[in-house]
Amino acid sequence: GAGVSQSPSNKVTEKGKDVELRCDPISGHTALYWYRQSLGQGLEFLIYFQGNSAPDKSGLPSDRFSAERTGGSVSTLTIQRTQQEDSAVYLCASSLDGAGAGTHEQYFGPGTRLTVT
Amino acid sequence: AQTVTQSQPEMSVQEAETVTLSCTYDTSESNYYLFWYKQPPSRQMILVIRQEAYKQQNATENRFSVNFQKAAKSFSLKISDSQLGDTAMYFCAFMKLGDMRFGAGTRLTVKP
């Protein structure tokens, strides 16, 4: 079946512009995660959606970052007034059940490489 | 908060040999999940192996196995018969109730 998809795969933007990154999770997965991965670094947790519950936004680095998940499926990560330090790969992952008794594996998308010039 | 430490930024191994990647974590929880993910140059994160903390038996997946020491909070990955395609970044991860934390990664190079 289809995996997690993300678009665009690459995005170059000018400092100060807003960008939107999209994630399509695996159908039926109730949990969705966003991570940021700077060059050669590990994954930094940004935000987590679980079903209809309020999202865990504890990882968002500033109020310029926000995310939505519409209809419990597609998610959009928005970065306003982009800065050069926002340059990174943004990874999205989904899992069947983030906090329950089911499988806990996260399935990752290919990521969006964001470059702020 | 849970933390995950991978103390080996880079490792290399000869093709067909065995290599062990280290991971330690810090938590006060008793029930949780541990994972190893692989990230090749393609950037795609791939699950290698998972371990439930309540299981004493070490997980095994073909050439990949773990040494899970719960009391020591250690979760190492052993790769047997290393292949060129195993060259990648390897991330150890801890998960509790949907909250997943990753280590900084170990870059593994398999040499022909």
Q: Are B27 and B94 in contact (CB under 8 A)?
A: yes
Domain that holds residue B74: 3-111
Considering only CB atoms, A31 lies closest to which of B33, B98, B103, namely B98
Measured CA distances, B90 to A79, A116, B50, B105 (Å): 28, 27, 13, 5
In chain B, the number of structural domains is 1
Q: What is the dihedral of CA B50, B52, B56, B57, to 10 degrees?
A: -30
Please compute the mean of the pLDDT values over residues B67-77 and round it to a whole number: 96
Closest approach of chain A CAs to the CA of B82, in angstroms? 23
Q: Which of A89, A98, A108 sits opposite B98 (nearest CB)?
A: A98
pLDDT computed for residue B12 by the predictor: 97
Checking if the pLDDT of B29 tops 70, the result is yes
- Kindly list the residues from chain B whose CB atom is less than 8 angstroms away from the CB atom of residue A96: none
Q: With an 8 Å Cβ cutoff, are A111 and B91 in contact?
A: no
pLDDT value at position A103? 53
State yes or no: pLDDT of A1 exceeds 80.
no
CATH number of the domain where residue B38 is located = 2.60.40.10
Domain A20-116 sits in CATH at 2.60.40.10
Residue B63 and residue B18 in contact, taking contact as beta carbons nearer than 8 Å: no
Percentage of chain A modeled with pLDDT above 70: 94
Residues of chain B whose beta carbon is less than 8 angstroms from a beta carbon of chain A are: 33, 35, 37, 42-47, 50, 91, 95, 97-105
Mean pLDDT of all residues belonging to chain B: 93
Mind listing the pLDDT tens digit for each residue in A60-86? 999 999 999 988 799 999 999 999 999
